[in-house]
Structure 1
């Protein structure tokens, strides 16, 4: 894999730390701003909504600009939003900074995904995506637990300042790294924007986006509200929260690494094997959450299965949108973050039910079930009609 791809992954690590870090800071944020944990949890879908809404238009605005300057601008805006978030005493302002950061993240990830897909041969998009997403998974291993620990010991402001500071090395490294190898298609003629947007009417592309969104929704539904499970149900201290988050991150890194070697040529078996295992896996932690050892093992396993299946489905988005070379990254970004927005919203609603803090785990299982039912129905219909199916 080319060096610029790994430099992009470093920047994704910085941005991914922010996207995931609230999972360990929700109780403190709720206390600081005088809101409920469920209300504080809305910061996660707010970030995701900003990425969904922002990815296509921001990518469209950046499509005719040099990618290295666009990526640098997005990182700097992202850092500034976190600096404001660190000093504000208003939950409304904090909410607004999350939206601004989301737009910057959306633009960066959309351009980075497009660049990643063009930095490698046509048949290695899955491996390129795995390298890029390794930045996100490493954020869940080190960045998120580290910021969670920092927030637990020094307060949530320190965590926000740390993210802003983490963006600076990425800002210094990306321009030179990207310029070291020219991205194919930059500065040359290509499909018109209207032609690229027209691909959004493709049933195969929409199916890949829908399945990816549902699996990611299940992931974010439980990940966002893991902290109360650790402290309330498992009975562990607050310092265990970053440990459990790191276990989830370690599993996600393993899952995306393995899937990256399979998703290009064999996406069907990944979905056929990983889907049912993920479906069974989410309700099990809900039953065994009061047993700390079992919870820790299951969190690792679910991280692996979630990212293996999710990254495979997002890879299919890039393949199905191959004829949109400057916009396909924004479609993948929108699919990822549609799930990140829907999942916590559904999960927050379950907190007031009899399931309590375990509600998000049950909700995750239901969302994976929905994805598998849709995939099975479409595959059966495609087989009956003799047409090609998106997960073959």
Structure 2
């Protein structure tokens, strides 16, 4: 649960500016589009630095590294609250993005290292609950703080929360041993390592296709719901809250299926995404209730698909490559989130707003095709690397 709390803080600080942009823009006498750069530079910092940092720190003890990352998140968020100029606020967001990338290069593999491979799904689901709560409460809480006390207070409160979570992690999170590569016979690379690398890259490709598809619609989802589906604007927060709760329920329940039927669960989740997104325009014509019903199930599928993809990544990655795999996975997610906004804009410009759900469904369908083709290519040997037992990273010397 300490790791879930840390993920909540990391993702909440990532989402935080989304609910504060108008106030920040007004404070610095900038257009809202300039304030939107606070989101862009954060994502860019994550994309550029996560994998290099994972490689550079692969021999560093995991728990201290997680604490350094959380401290960096707290410091960057606190500096954002105190920034006297917009340029310094941008710099604070870049620093926060770097710390966020470092944190995820550790966090995504940490849960996998704490449990045996048979419990990877449950461990990933428990830690992912922090991200689900961040999606439901993080940005709304930041917006509420902004409305009551101003945008600086929102950053300041989350900086204090990050410090508290760092203390919680230092106290409660068990350390894990560093993975060591076993000696190779005859100087050759093990087959499982080669299979693991190809599997890692395939999972990254599936992440790109599925998440770009969903964010192609999701970035402009509110506009589609009001302008195409005809939902009243005051009902949008309720719609988002209900679908967010459905997503949280799905995250809470996916752990055991992810461990018992990992391949089938992933296939079903992505097929659900593609099929239900394709139904959105038809449901919108039938009325609000059919659209809401489909959106509830679709939000559940999209909530569990990343968990199942992360679980697959940790299963197929050789143990000594888990941190690098986690970093590549984080980079793929962030590229996909930013890329979805670009693809969505291109789709709207070429064919109009109404076709966004079909574009999302098409990309998800391509993702499921890649997944189905890749399943026979990942041998069991690539997934059988035993997890490191929980142990002290620094040996006690009497």
Give the alignment's TM-score, normalised by structure 2.
Answer: 0.78
RMSD: 3.7
Distance 1:375 1:63, change over 3 A: closer
Counterparts of 1:93 and 1:346, CA distance in 2:
30
> Does the CA contact (< 8 Å) of 1:141 and 1:250 recur in 2?
yes
Corresponding residue for residue 322 of structure 1: 318
> Does the CA contact (< 8 Å) of 2:46 and 2:97 recur in 1?
yes
Corresponding residue for residue 338 of structure 1: 335
Counterparts of 1:246 and 1:127, CA distance in 2:
25
Counterparts of 1:157 and 1:345, CA distance in 2:
30
State whether structure 2 residue 279 is matched by structure 1 residue 302.
no
- Return 5+ residue gaps in structure 1 as ranges: 1-5
Alignment of 1:79-158 (within 5 A): 79-88=74-83, 92-151=87-146, 155-158=150-153
Deviation at 1:289, TM superposition (A): 6.2
Counterparts of 1:226 and 1:216, CA distance in 2:
14
Counterparts of 2:145 and 2:268, CA distance in 1:
38
What's the CA shift string for 1:270-300, capped at 9, x where partnerless? Answer: 2332222211322444566696656654443
User: How many residue pairs get matched?
Assistant: 371
> Does the CA contact (< 8 Å) of 1:48 and 1:102 recur in 2?
yes
After TM superposition, the structure 1 stretch with the greater mean CA deviation from structure 2, 104-113 or 154-163, is 154-163
Equivalent of 2:242, from 230, 233, 247? 247
Determine helix, strand or coil for the equivalent of 2:369: helix
Distance 1:155 1:121, change over 3 A: same
Deviation at 1:89, TM superposition (A): 6.9
Deviation at 1:170, TM superposition (A): 0.6
Distance 1:294 1:329, change over 3 A: same
What's the CA shift string for 1:69-97, capped at 9, x where partnerless? Answer: 22122112112222333344765544443
Corresponding residue for residue 309 of structure 2: 313
What's the CA shift string for 1:333-369, capped at 9, x where partnerless? Answer: 233323223222323444555634x665454333212
Distance 1:66 1:317, change over 3 A: same
Deviation at 1:131, TM superposition (A): 1.1
> Does the CA contact (< 8 Å) of 1:314 and 1:335 recur in 2?
no
Alignment of 1:30-69 (within 5 A): 34-35=30-31, 43-69=38-64
Give the alignment's TM-score, normalised by structure 1.
Answer: 0.79
> Does the CA contact (< 8 Å) of 1:140 and 1:245 recur in 2?
no
Distance 1:259 1:353, change over 3 A: same
> Does the CA contact (< 8 Å) of 1:289 and 1:295 recur in 2?
yes
Determine helix, strand or coil for the equivalent of 2:257: coil
Corresponding residue for residue 3 of structure 1: none
> Does the CA contact (< 8 Å) of 2:314 and 2:322 recur in 1?
no
Corresponding residue for residue 387 of structure 2: none
Deviation at 1:371, TM superposition (A): 0.9
Distance 1:220 1:104, change over 3 A: farther
Corresponding residue for residue 276 of structure 1: 271
Deviation at 1:202, TM superposition (A): 2.8
> Does the CA contact (< 8 Å) of 1:314 and 1:336 recur in 2?
no
Counterparts of 1:211 and 1:46, CA distance in 2:
25
What's the CA shift string for 1:77-118, capped at 9, x where partnerless? Answer: 112222333344765544443332121111112212222111
> Does the CA contact (< 8 Å) of 1:220 and 1:343 recur in 2?
yes
State whether structure 2 residue 71 is matched by structure 1 residue 76.
yes
Structure with higher Rg: it is 2
> Does the CA contact (< 8 Å) of 2:317 and 2:382 recur in 1?
no
Distance 1:87 1:182, change over 3 A: closer
